[in-house]
Amino acid sequence: MIRFFRISKFHAFYLVNGDVTMSFPRITDELSNIPLHIEKAPADQKRYVQALKKNQREVFNAEVEFYKKILELQIEHQNKVNKILDVRAAIINGEKDIKDEDCIEEAISNLSIEDQEKIFQGSATNEKGIKGFWLHVLQGFAETSERIFERDEPILEQLKDIKLNLFNNGENDQGFILTFVFGENEFFEEKELVKTYKTSYHPEEGEEFWLYDGNHIVSVESSKVTWKAGKNPLVGRQGKDSSLEEAQSFFEYFMVAININECADEEDKETAFVDFELGQLFRDEVIPRATLIYTGEYVGDDNLDMYEDGEEEESDEDEEN
């Protein structure tokens, strides 16, 4: 499985079959101190060091080209995948008639055909599509599940699709867009809510070449949500002073809009990095593996931790009994 390179605050990497193939860690300030062996080296040897430094710059130039080509490959790949995901959206929303050739018997792995037949038996209805598909997906994925509250559920039941598009319009205008498709709904005016993550594979402005750590976040943008009267899940109950208390909600995700280069507040920067990590999880796991999350078959790193914690609790209960 090819996965997008993950960009964090400190490093970037590219995964093939789950293995890190290349990593460029940030060189810390501590390493900028001049080592004693260089101070004591003869002048002609220091000349070699200067040549090595120029050579190192060429390595970083090659890394910039690496990230550029990776992005081009990712865009080509995602354009192909999006055609397949459009069919998935049509199935979920009941816009495609399902024929026998569209189905496979082994709908859930590790279950016998007999067990699957039992699970998929039941009375038929005339309802098309899968109601609440994306709500169940987001509730089944650890990182998004912890952000969903009861007041969010009826809104997320209306979610029809989450689309991913990559873009590359130049050195500092590239990244990916997440589009949450709701259509007409009773909660807000917009039919779609959009998150835009801009990145750059070029060194940050004013950054020394030897501090270059690959593709980095430039900005996070969120589309405005125009809530209809009484439907905003971010507004809680009325407090003692008659003011409305702010409530926690999944839709806080659409309140983050930060330009890293223009941001002086470290707390805001950290908010952007955390938001970006979630955006990458949507890009790398939630969107491409949504069906497997829905069926309970997908176990990501955080989901695995949640699953193991549950097993430990069951084991403790068994021992007590």
| Per-residue model confidence as pLDDT tens digits over 158-206 | 999 999 999 998 766 899 999 999 999 999 999 999 999 999 877 665 5
Question: Which CATH number do you get for residue 308?
Answer: 3.30.1120.90
Six token digits for residue 267:
């707390």
In sequence order, what are the beta bridge partners of 13?
6, 23
pTM for this predicted structure: 0.79
Calpha distance 60→202 (Å, rounded): 10
pLDDT of residue 277: 95
Predicted confidence band of residue 239 (pLDDT cuts 50, 70, 90): very low
Residue 203 inside a domain? The answer is yes
Calpha distance 107→116 (Å, rounded): 7
pLDDT of residue 10: 35
Residue 30 has pLDDT above 80, yes or no: no
Calpha distance 235→224 (Å, rounded): 16
Residue 138 inside a domain? The answer is yes
Phi and psi torsions of 284, nearest 5°: -90, -30
Residue 11 has pLDDT above 60, yes or no: no
Calpha distance 197→189 (Å, rounded): 23
Q: How many domains does the chain have?
A: 1
Residue 106 inside a domain? The answer is no
Q: What SS3 state is found at 177?
A: strand
For the segment 272-299, what is each residue's pLDDT rounded down to a tens digit? 999 999 999 999 999 999 999 999 999 7
Predicted confidence band of residue 243 (pLDDT cuts 50, 70, 90): very low
Residue 7 inside a domain? The answer is no
Q: What SS3 state is found at 43?
A: helix
Six token digits for residue 44:
């002609």
Residue 29 inside a domain? The answer is no
Q: What SS3 state is found at 150?
A: helix
**Domain that includes residue 270, residue range:** 34-94+127-320
Residue 211 inside a domain? The answer is yes
For the segment 78-110, what is each residue's pLDDT rounded down to a tens digit? 999 999 999 999 999 999 999 989 988 777 777
Residue with the larger pLDDT of the pair 17 and 312: 312
Residue 112 inside a domain? The answer is no
Six token digits for residue 41:
């080296």
Residue 154 inside a domain? The answer is yes
CB 278 within 8 A of CB 263: no
Calpha distance 199→214 (Å, rounded): 10
